[in-house]
Chains A and B, each alone.
Chain A
Amino acid sequence: MTTPTTTPTPSTGSWRGVASEDQDELSDKVSGLLRVRSRRLLGDLLTPHRKAIALLTAVIVVSNAAGLAIPYLVKVGIDEGIPPMLRGTGPGTLLTVVGVILAAAVTQALTRQAFLTMSGRIGQDILLELRRRVFDHFQRLSLSFHEKYTSGRVISRLTSDIEAIAELLNSGFDGLVTAVLTMFGTAALLLVLDVHLGLVALIPLPLLLLFTRWFRRQSAIVYRRTRETVALVIVHFVESMTGIRAVQAFRREPRNQEIFKELNDDYRDANVRAMKLIAIFMPGIKLIGNVTVAGVLFYGGWLAFHGEVTVGVLTAFLLYLRGFYEPMQEISQFYNTLQSASAALEKLSGVLEEEPVVPEPREPTPLPAPRGTVRFEGVRFAYVEEMPILPGLDLTIPAGQSVALVGSTGAGKTTLAKLITRFYDPTAGRVLLDGVDLRSLDEATLRAAVVMVTQENFLFSGTVMDNITFGRPDATEREVREAARAIGAHEFISVLPDGYRTEVGKRGGRISAGQRQLVAFARAFLADPAVLILDEATSSLDVPSERLVQRALRTILSDRTALIIAHRLSTVEIADRVLVMERGEIVEDGPPGDLITASGRFADLHQAWQDSLS
């Protein structure tokens, strides 16, 4: 067996296999960088809401001022309102105070509702923006990225991570802001009420800050771990549900369960660590708060009975002190949502920083009427370094020519096709369309000119109609029917329960493999490109259907460049030219008739095919 060329990254189980790199497994060293990056993203997201946030701050200050005033007013009520009554001078002062309390309560309520709605809106705006950005960015990123990142991770980023942030924005944000403001407000008030007592009450503050810092450091690590472990759970889950047919048919359920349990347990352990931190942090804060209350009670009582503070002041003090330490509880309560959200934000910002390796040109060359000349100039390509798939390719396909590409499996046929569609860029050399390097065409232009029916055709859930119009969203129903008719798909579609409106189900599972291929074909046909690439587009069709498709192709392809990859040489019949590919090189090139009579690779293949027919 071959020895590994690179050191494998250790992974949780050998079943997973070895790959040269594992995304997401980041060392703690980069965590500083990550924080900067995610903070930048956060800033970026908040910027458009600057004004709203300023307004919000004003509103919340009013709301908190009103809220804070209430205990103070109670103190005033007791201190100033009651003595006149005891003296029999009437409840005037008291009534005023009560009136003010009511007014404060109403003010608080109104501002608070405004705050909740506004902050809710900002939160949702940010979420929407984040969803949009991340989704769009994923769609922009090149195939090579997706192949490594896997769809499971994409899903995890766009669901679980976004939700962690939503969690913060929905509840945590509100709680944090209120708590922080309450704390500062209270601290100020305490000092105003009585500097002496106030200072005593605030003595433990530095301790509190240290403690919080410790917690923040620890939890950053822990929550990053929870994001990572949950992503693994999701990846495994999605994959086993996607391949459930094979799972059940091959009795993989127990093994899958084992793996899932392992991942699930990892996720649990990460959560255990997070919760343990909180279990230490929360009571810690409470302890500091309570000890302070006792201290103030003692010291305040002593002062009061020496007549240095009034009973009212002491009362207010004790009330406010709760207001100072209680929010700390809340802050820590929401600190975990915050940490979990910032871990998620780190992941998302990582994705957003990812640059497409197949970038769009800064100044695209226009290509108003593509004719479809495809040229490969000294193209070399390798998916992984050291393993070149195309060692050096020179090839010209004149506009309008139909070229059949044959060769043994794994020769690099699909790879060549992917270079024409610019799923990848060549490692060296260039691919030209009508003399323009693909790298200087913008995506829309290129995609309008070149369309490929991939080997693994994918149907979206939705109707047959939806799937065909995917080729050209503005196509009319008639055009769709015509496209389907032209390639012989109309017949089966019209007998489906709802005709063109039949739901094809998840991944097209409600129609047969051959029917899926026909729909995929109709889709490409409708797109009407200058260059059409068919990668094994008829492999699952029966012979009569295949023949229908070929007949259609003959007319379609008369004025179009086509690259037809096929193993069944019957398809080659319609080609003007045949390329035989072996190990990434074109070994034969010529009109089919010539190649058959010559003695070469193609003649052999053809003979073998002939034999297989009898």
Chain B
Amino acid sequence: MPPDTRALRRPLLKNNSLWRLRPYLRPYVVRLVLIWLAAMVGIGASIALPLVGEQVVDGPVRDGDGGALLLLGSIALGLGVLEALLIFLRRWSQIKPVLGLETAIRDDVYAHLQRLPMSFHGDWQSGQMLSRITTDLSTIRRFTGFGMLFLVMNILQLIVVTALLLSKHWPLGLLVAASAVPIVMLSMRFEKRYIKISRQVQDEQGDLGTFVEESAIGIRTIKAFGRRRHVYESFDKAAVKVYDTSMDKVRLSARFFTFLEVIPNFTLALVLLVGALAVGQGQLTLGALFAFTTLVLQLVWPIASLGYILAMAQEAMTSADRVMEVMDMVPAITGGTGRIERPRGHLRFEGVGFRFPGADRPVLHDVWLEVRPGETVAVVGATGAGKTTLTALVPRLIDPTAGRVTIDGHDVRDLALPELRSVVATAFEEPTLFSMSVRENLTLGRQDTTEEELAGAIRTAQAMFVYDLPWGLDTRIGEQGLSLSGGQRQRLALARAVLSKPKILVLDDTLSALDVETEALVEKALREVLREATGIVVAHRASTVLLADRVALLADGAITHVGRHQDLLNEVPAYRALLAQDADLDPSEGALR
């Protein structure tokens, strides 16, 4: 085990998140040993230097021995150069492990976040996640980088120097050792309060980050309503909160740091007093007292800086906690091992129920629906009926709380996630585009798509406008595709879904932002695509419903009717109310009729 991790255990008694990060250091064991060796020897050199000073004062100066002076001077020079070399060695070899640790954790947190299900992402703001992979990780880096080393080195230096003092003149040494008592006691008290306050600051900063994020993403809405002041005031409130807590932290640490500085100075005064008396009684040489005071002076800095370092350690622990908090989230949705050899796209909902966590009523209950291979079913329901929820069950963005969803007889939960998600593709109701090239937005990184497939998908979605963009398919489309019009974005999202030629294609109200003519063209092309695939089409408009062979009416959380559009229109009043544009329109009101 590398010595650094052993050293870690001490402050970790209460809290072991930091300790749990140690596997990240495993690849660097050799380097770490080297670093610590360099550090130890370095301390030795820096302690030895004043001892040489003592020799000079006690030896050559008193005796007038020029040769000895030369020798001692050379030793001092050698020690000095050695110390510098060792510091270089330590710092240089530290770079890799420290940054390797940070980078690897960041990669892993990102990977983990990508695995966590929608239910997690619905609750966690990216501001909170972001502060973990930036601020918290650099806090951990700083601590593992030098904080930890200095902590151990300082403590070691204290012990060695104290031991040296004890051996030189035990009464004086004892005096110095005793001064550690108040320091340790106070440190422990400080630790408790500081850990609480630093966690608070970090959380509040995360909240502030969240707020910043929302106001950056929602800038259009803010501008549309001219609510700059309003938003600013809320931001200000959060920023002042951070300010207040930070000030508490400042005050707390100011008191602690000061205390740590005053103790060694008091000790020094006492040492001088007692030492002088000892010299007076001839128990101590003048040179020895000189060395003694020099050594005690050497203690001032390690003790004083202990404050910073302990604070740093606290913060690193809090940060590790916050990082582990995310890493400890168990992905609620993990894939099975099943594979479908030749997927046909036979989709069944078998008594499916779904309740959002914390909700008092289920959104869906006892949903039975069968979509045979190649068939297309339209799902129709009022706003908020649960259509999106229903469709999200198929690619397992959420899992049913009752019943099961099967594809070709396999429960979707038994299938490997990549497998399942290559069988199902969804065009979401809100198109998500990323700030990257059109091509990348459509393929989303799959290398196996050919130019023809790409062109085909673009044609199906009537998204030919992409060829007119300044750099064609290589044009970066802005954040969330906002430099495109609403209909253009929606068509890209559609093209993305049809591009992978899924066995099951889910269209969640994906034609809502298209004009009637474009919609007709898209529908015509979609018919071709849907002939090959099983389709679920969520629709509010009769025109879209007509894409489907059958229609399922979703009402009160269950599928109440399934049938052909015309039949349902004639037989089911609820369906008529939802879909017939002119159902109860007063002719005198409608200018168009």
Contacts and interface: CB of A to CB of B under 8 A. Distances in A.
Nearest to B312: A171
B280 A91 contact: yes
Interface string A370-400: 0000000000000110010000000000000
A248 B257 contact: no
Contacts of A19: 475-476
Contacts of A614: 542
B486 A414 contact: yes
Interface size class of A (residues with CB under 8 A): 35 or more
A523 B269 contact: no
B531 interface: no
26 contacts: A2-B470, A15-B440, A16-B476, A17-B475, A70-B265, A77-B276, A86-B279, A91-B280, A94-B272, A109-B258, A120-B254, A121-B247, A155-B130, A233-B106, A235-B435, A297-B73, A305-B61, A318-B53, A384-B470, A414-B486, A447-B223, A461-B214, A542-B381, A543-B578, A547-B585, A567-B487
Contacts of A409: 485-488, 491, 513-515, 518
B178 interface: no
Interface in B88-142: 88, 91-92, 94-96, 98-100, 102-103, 106-107, 110-111, 113-115, 117-118, 121-127, 129-131, 133-135
Nearest to A256: B114
A294 interface: yes
B383 A297 contact: no
B216 A138 contact: yes
B294 interface: yes
The 7 closest A-B pairs by CB, nearest first: A447-B226, A290-B80, A409-B487, A255-B445, A17-B437, A17-B476, A120-B250
B60 A301 contact: yes
A128 B84 contact: no
Interface string B54-81: 0011001110111001101100110111
Interface in A390-447: 406-410, 413-414, 421, 423, 443-444, 446-447
B360 interface: yes
B72 A297 contact: yes
B255 A105 contact: no
B261 interface: yes
Contact of B516 (A132, A265, A506, A605): A605
A513 B430 contact: yes
B28 interface: no
Contacts of B480: 242-243, 456
B436 A17 contact: yes
B286 A82 contact: yes
Contacts of A15: 436-437, 440, 445
B425 interface: yes
Interface stretch (A39-47, A212-220, A278-286): A278-286
Contacts of A406: 515
B243 to A, nearest CB: 5
B383 A514 contact: yes
B104 to A, nearest CB: 9
Interface string B321-350: 000000000000000000000000000000
Interface residues of B, number: 205
Contacts of A301: 56-57, 60-61, 69, 72-73
B375 interface: no
A361 interface: no
Given A82-B280, A311-B290, A410-B465, 14 more contacts: A6-B470, A78-B286, A82-B286, A91-B276, A94-B276, A97-B272, A116-B250, A143-B223, A245-B118, A249-B424, A255-B444, A421-B224, A454-B220, A539-B512
A117 B356 CA distance: 49
A251 B289 contact: no
Given A241-B126, A410-B488, A461-B214, A1 B467 contact: yes
B355 to A, nearest CB: 12
Nearest to B542: A613
B474 interface: yes
B114 A248 contact: yes
Contacts of A408: 515, 517-518
B518 A128 contact: no
A120 B130 CA distance: 26
Nearest to B289: A78
Nearest to A448: B226
Contacts of A279: 88, 91-92, 94-95
Interface string B352-364: 0000101110000
Interface stretch (A54-62, A187-195, A568-576): A568-576
A151 B65 CA distance: 73
Contacts of B579: 543
A146 B216 contact: yes
Interface stretch (A197-205, A269-277, A342-350): A269-277
Nearest to B93: A279
A572 B224 CA distance: 23
B592 A249 contact: no
Given A283-B87, A408-B515, A290 B483 contact: no
A8 B251 CA distance: 52
B479 A152 contact: yes
B155 interface: no
Contact of A155 (B213, B439, B577): B213
A596 B52 CA distance: 104
A284 B253 CA distance: 31
A228 interface: no
A27 B498 CA distance: 43
A250 B578 contact: no
Contacts of A606: 592
B91 A278 contact: yes
Nearest to A99: B269
A367 interface: no
Contacts of B70: 298
A102 interface: yes
Contact of A275 (B99, B209, B290): B99
A353 interface: no
Given A91-B276, A318-B294, A139 B127 contact: no
A109 B95 contact: no
A98 interface: yes
B568 interface: no
Nearest to A315: B290
Contacts of A542: 381-383, 540, 578
B251 A443 contact: no
B272 A257 contact: no
Given A150-B435, A294-B77, A297-B73, A249 B220 contact: no
A247 B261 contact: no
A153 to B, nearest CB: 9
Given A297-B53, A540-B512, A457 B445 contact: no
B454 to A, nearest CB: 12
B72 A82 contact: no
A275 B95 contact: yes
B228 A315 contact: no
Interface in B193-212: 205, 208-210, 212
Interface string A488-504: 00001000010000000
A599 interface: no
Contact of B485 (A171, A272, A284, A410): A410
B513 A536 contact: yes
A52 interface: no
Interface stretch (A29-37, A156-164, A475-483): A156-164
Contacts of A511: 384
A5 interface: yes
A184 interface: no
Most buried by A among B239, B279, B491, B515: B515
Contact of B107 (A123, A260, A572, A612): A260
B60 A305 contact: yes
A261 interface: yes
Contacts of A318: 50, 53, 294
B268 interface: yes
Contacts of A1: 467, 472-473
B212 A297 contact: no
